[in-house]
Amino acid sequence: MISADDLIALVRNYNPKTNEALIRSAFEYGGEMHEGQFRHSGEPYFSHPVAVAAILTEQQLDDGTIITALLHDTIEDTKASYASVSELFGEEVAKLVDGVTKLTNLQLNSSETKQAENFRKLFMAMSKDMRVILVKLADRLHNMRTIKSMRPEKQVQKARETMDIFAPLAGRMGMQWMREELEDLAFRVLNPEGRSSIMRRFVSLQRETGDVIERITGDMRMELEKADIDAEIFGRAKKPYSIWRKMQEKDQSFSRLSDIYGFRIVTHSEEDSYRTLGAIHQRWSAVPGRFKDYISQPKTNGYRSIHTTVSGRDGKRVEVQIRTRQMHDVAETGVAAHWSYKDGVRSQNPFAVDPAKWISQLTEQFDGEDDHEDFLEAVKLEMYSDQVFCFTPKGEVVKLPRGATPIDFAYAIHTRIGNACVGSKIDGMRVPLWTRVKNGQSVEIITAEGQSPQTTWLEIATTGKAKTAIRRSLREADRESFIKLGRELARSAFAHVGQKSTEKALETAAVVLRLKDPDEVLARLGSAELTGRQVVQAIYPELIPQKGAPVDASRAVIGLKAGQSFERATCCQPLPDERIVGISMRGRGVVVHTIDCEHLIKLEDRADDWLDLRWHDGSHAAVYTATLRMTIGNGAGVLGRVCSLIGETGANISDLQFMDRKPDYFLLLIDVDLRDVQHLHTLMGALNAQDEVAAIERYRNIDLPDANSAPSG
């Protein structure tokens, strides 16, 4: 349990004007009231309210909410009363504590009729002061994090209630991170075998493919730097429950499920957000039907962001969210952003919604529902309202994102229908193609032979599927002339840097740019979708100064305990920006491995020796050795040119071994000193573009004994 000083420090980080004395008084009062009470785990009961308060500091909430968290169980479970809490901490806090107490007493997992009535009470409590539900959600989150100490039947009851009510409620309020964690914690209880299966398959996938997240993050960072866009990029694998749900919805096995990675790009302005979307779609192909613009069409809880799904490395689908810092702050806390503080003052975020208006709009929709079951259905539909459902003239349902148009509807049916579209009818009446479709409408698409997509459709369409099909049709109309022009532009661009525009160079550019083949590179170059500089940079990127403060190599890893030293495992040779774990070894300190290192399998049963580590942000010196295995042609000057190119990319050769010599080729192992994993990818891309280089790969010696040393314990 953290101390009062630690909790106050957490609040002071975002609110220097906090009433420290009042928070300390609440901490001491809560500890006194809960004295002698213990949780199922055997811990002092007061550790729970303190943990709830700490969770709420992550959302930078006001003093009243933090104090309510510390006292939220006092009126119900101790000798404290409404009057005593009001006298000591004010009427506002007393009302909040009383509201949380009443919510706690609601049996939300009961029969349908009673559940509907309790939902009414829940919304009534929220309408008085929504901070009540914020405390209750944090209370449920901590209970789910510590649920293992409960009886099995109680765990199932709480997990089901969490999955059905609290998780979707958190999502409806815009607190998506909390929704995901609540769902995953409930999933761990309700289907432990399913979750374990997902985790095992995911670890296996990482071993087969390496750290996809770090590689794609590096690719995105490179594209944004080319477009001169300054932004933060975060990548992660989706939660096990999210993956499981997609498997169930799509009726696919894990091996066929591709969009299991998500990336978030936080920009400085709305303009940069749309420029970022352009850079991402220019580099990677958008997945049809997976684009949503919540910046121009924000959700009612204030959420704004651009969502798209693209085909990333090796055809893997990745979801990308793009938004500004202010939009990100609201996305992290949702409706709670109204109470958040920054630098001691109430945050004036223009995207934060007024909770009173939001809950008023929500409850008004349900007040007309006299029937309990209808009311409950209305609540649940509203919680999951992200899409619109339209009908074809034959009554078939078409699911579209909110804000979609008849153009999106046409392409959702079939690309051929979309390409031939000349008009539309909604509920029997002719409407313009830019009309926004609504739930329950019947949409009819009018087609004509010989029609083809128009450039203006790109501004009308909202789905990735429609935009991609329109662009493809427009591009193919002039493809041959674009390829011819692109070939001349490529020749000129490569000659400008002293290189040749060979077929192999264009093939390498196609791989790096995630395009189908060299002709696609030339076609996009000729149509001005790519520049000659971008094509050349894909293979021979200019040396761009690293951002951030220089990192001391002896302190490059974060997560070590005081006094611990580290060394890189020689088996996998981890590089900065790769995902890593540490293994405590007797006499050696901590040995750092990449997350996909095969040696880690031997230590799966020694969980106490594992450390969660990450590389320090900033600019690393080129002192981290990685081994490359290369096959090069045996010709005059070939090795010299290869070594020169390595030096030109800012890497240093520290060792070189000839593994095999033949009349027509050499097989080499070359140790190169690098800055980070992106430096490695840049170097390998430049080498692979050379005609004399037949093959190149990163070499990892799994026979080295790094993981066989004795653990620390």
What tens digit of pLDDT does each residue of 136-171 get?
Answer: 999 999 999 999 888 888 899 889 888 877 887 887
Cα gap 234→298, rounded to integer Å: 22
Residue 457 has what DSSP assignment? H
Residue 32 designated active-site: no
Residue 304 has what DSSP assignment? -
Is 473 contained in some domain? no
Over the chain, what is the mean pLDDT? 81
Instruction: Tell me: do 86 and 163 sit in the same domain.
Output: yes
Burial of 649 (C-beta count, 10 Å sphere; 0-12/13-18/19+): buried
Say which residues have a Cβ less than 8 Å from residue 366's Cβ, sequence separation at least 6.
Answer: 120, 123, 375, 378, 379, 382
**329, pLDDT greater than 80:** yes
What tens digit of pLDDT does each residue of 249-259 get?
Answer: 555 555 455 56
Q: What is the pLDDT of residue 372?
A: 46
Q: What is the pLDDT of residue 166?
A: 84
Instruction: Tell me: do 455 and 583 sit in the same domain.
Output: no
The stretch 552-562 carries a mean pLDDT of: 83
Is 200 contained in some domain? no
Instruction: Tell me: do 253 and 272 sit in the same domain.
Output: yes
**486, pLDDT greater than 50:** yes
Residue that terminates a domain, selected from 190, 218, 253: 190
Cα gap 83→355, rounded to integer Å: 28
Residue that terminates a domain, selected from 346, 372, 389: 346
The CATH number for 641's domain is 3.30.70.260
Work out the angle between the directed axes of helices 677-688 and 212-226 (0-180°, nearest 10).
Answer: 80
The CATH number for 79's domain is 1.10.3210.10
Instruction: Tell me: do 14 and 96 sit in the same domain.
Output: yes
Q: How many domains does the chain have?
A: 5
Instruction: Tell me: do 566 and 709 sit in the same domain.
Output: yes
Beta bridge partners of 173: none
Among 20, 77, 92, 519, the active-site one is 77
Domain housing 420: 405-468
Instruction: Tell me: do 229 and 161 sit in the same domain.
Output: no
Is 352 contained in some domain? no
Q: For residue 104, give Cα distances in angstroms to 76, 97, 285.
A: 9, 11, 48
Instruction: Tell me: do 579 and 461 sit in the same domain.
Output: no
The CATH number for 413's domain is 3.10.20.30
Is 14 contained in some domain? yes
Among 76, 444, 671, 692, the active-site one is 76
Is 375 contained in some domain? no
Is 442 contained in some domain? yes
Cα gap 185→162, rounded to integer Å: 9
Query: Comparing 101-105, 271-275, 652-656, which segment has the lowest mean pLDDT?
Result: 101-105
Residue that terminates a domain, selected from 190, 219, 240: 190
Instruction: Tell me: do 419 and 555 sit in the same domain.
Output: no
Instruction: Tell me: do 530 and 558 sit in the same domain.
Output: no
Is 65 contained in some domain? yes
Enter the tokens of residue 519: 């002709």
Q: Give the SS3 label for residue 660.
A: strand
The CATH number for 298's domain is 3.30.460.10
Instruction: Tell me: do 239 and 337 sit in the same domain.
Output: yes
Residue 18 has what DSSP assignment? -
Residue type, 647: G
Q: What is the pLDDT of residue 163?
A: 84
Helix, strand, coil shares, percent, the chain, to 5: 50, 20, 30
Cα gap 713→695, rounded to integer Å: 43
Cα gap 41→149, rounded to integer Å: 5
Instruction: Tell me: do 685 and 589 sit in the same domain.
Output: yes
Cα gap 614→526, rounded to integer Å: 43
109 vs 276 pLDDT, higher one: 276
**511, pLDDT greater than 60:** yes
Is 364 contained in some domain? no
As a whole number of Å, the end-to-end CA separation of the chain is 26
Residue 77 designated active-site: yes
DSSP conformation letters of 483-501? HHHHHHHHHHHHHHTT---
CB 672 within 8 A of CB 642: no
Instruction: Tell me: do 680 and 574 sit in the same domain.
Output: yes
Residue with tokens 């100064």: 545
CB 273 within 8 A of CB 323: yes
